[in-house]
Amino acid sequence: MAKTTEIAPNIYRISVYALRGDLQFNHFLVKDEEPLLFHTGLRGMHAEIREAVSRLIKVSDLRHISFSHFESDECGALNEWLIAAPKADVICGQVSAMVCVNDFIGRETRPVADGESFSTGMLHFRHCRTPHLPHGWDSGMLFEETEKTLLCSDLFHQTGDNEPITSCDVVGRSRDAMKAYQAGILAEYVPYTPTTAHNLKRLADLKPKTLAIMHGSSFSGDCARALSDLDAVYREVFGRETGA
């Protein structure tokens, strides 16, 4: 059963642990005047996540659905959610809208440009375009400006069934996970590109207080430092020339 934890004021982490893969899938519900779901989850997890959402809000009252990039765990159940919550709009980056999502859902999304903001009521979100970070041309993150929570998708990916939120070393945990993935079919999870450091620096400059992480524990602490350290880890793990 999904586990729900409030990781920042009015931001709820709905977590499903998949034994196969030894991995948590985390979805974030913003309980506000206009409720927002960040990450739809996989189609195969939809019933479980919807049930968890229904404990927080009336599902049909969901007004916004958003995600970082076009991938099954981020937005695979988008069409199922749009049936369950017909009043919801889909907020995603302009590239995502144009190259993937409008066609996938058969209607227009609400595309947001880099730096563009929207409100859910008490909380205010800014879209940060981060191409190829964590991966995908269309990638972006949402930063909540009032409580300073960064919804950071696959950044800081950790394996295991972890505690909902921690102040421990999520960078070290993520380094271990990325190193292990490099030895298998999930190698090259994050492309280290000429813009990776710049994108991570822009996110660090927001000075988040909480990182809402998709796989593994959320983090509370010095998030700017964690983002800077993550760049060093990514450079170490993914930035080497292999000669292949």
* Helix, strand or coil, per DSSP, at residue 208: coil
* Residue among 35, 37, 52, 71 that touches Fe ion (CB under 5 A): 71
Distance CA 189, CA 182 (A): 8
* Residue among 88, 112, 177, 214 that touches Fe ion (CB under 5 A): 214
* Residue among 34, 50, 57, 73 that touches Fe ion (CB under 5 A): 73
Among the residue ranges 4-12, 69-77, 95-103, 160-168, the one whose residues contact Fe ion (CB under 5 A): 69-77
> Cβ closer to Fe ion: 211 or 214?
214
Q: Are 62 and 53 in contact (CB under 8 A)?
A: yes
Q: Are 220 and 209 in contact (CB under 8 A)?
A: yes
> Cβ closer to Fe ion: 45 or 214?
214
Parallel/antiparallel/unpaired status of strands 149-151 and 210-212: parallel
Answer left, alpha or beta for residue 239, where phi above 0 means left and psi between -120 and 50 means alpha: alpha
Residue 100 within binding range of Fe ion, rule CB under 5 A:
no
Q: What size, in residues, is the chain?
A: 244
> Cβ closer to Fe ion: 26 or 120?
26
Residue among 137, 128, 157 at smallest CA distance from 70: 137
Q: How far apart are CB 121 and Fe ion at their closest, in Å?
A: 27
> Cβ closer to Fe ion: 28 or 63?
28
Q: How far apart are CB 158 and Fe ion at their closest, in Å?
A: 12
Pick out residues in 111-130 that bind Fe ion (CB under 5 A): none
Distance CA 190, CA 155 (A): 9
Distance CA 143, CA 141 (A): 7
How many positions of this chain bind Fe ion (CB under 5 A)?
4
Answer left, alpha or beta for residue 98, where phi above 0 means left and psi between -120 and 50 means alpha: alpha
**Residues 140-169 as x/- pattern, contact with Fe ion by CB under 5 A:** --------------x---------------
> Cβ closer to Fe ion: 34 or 73?
73
Q: How far apart are CB 67 and Fe ion at their closest, in Å?
A: 9
Tell me what percent of the chain is helix, strand and coil, each rounded to the nearest 5: 30, 25, 45
**Residues 12-51 as x/- pattern, contact with Fe ion by CB under 5 A:** ----------------------------------------
Binding site residues, Fe ion, CB under 5 A:
71, 73, 154, 214
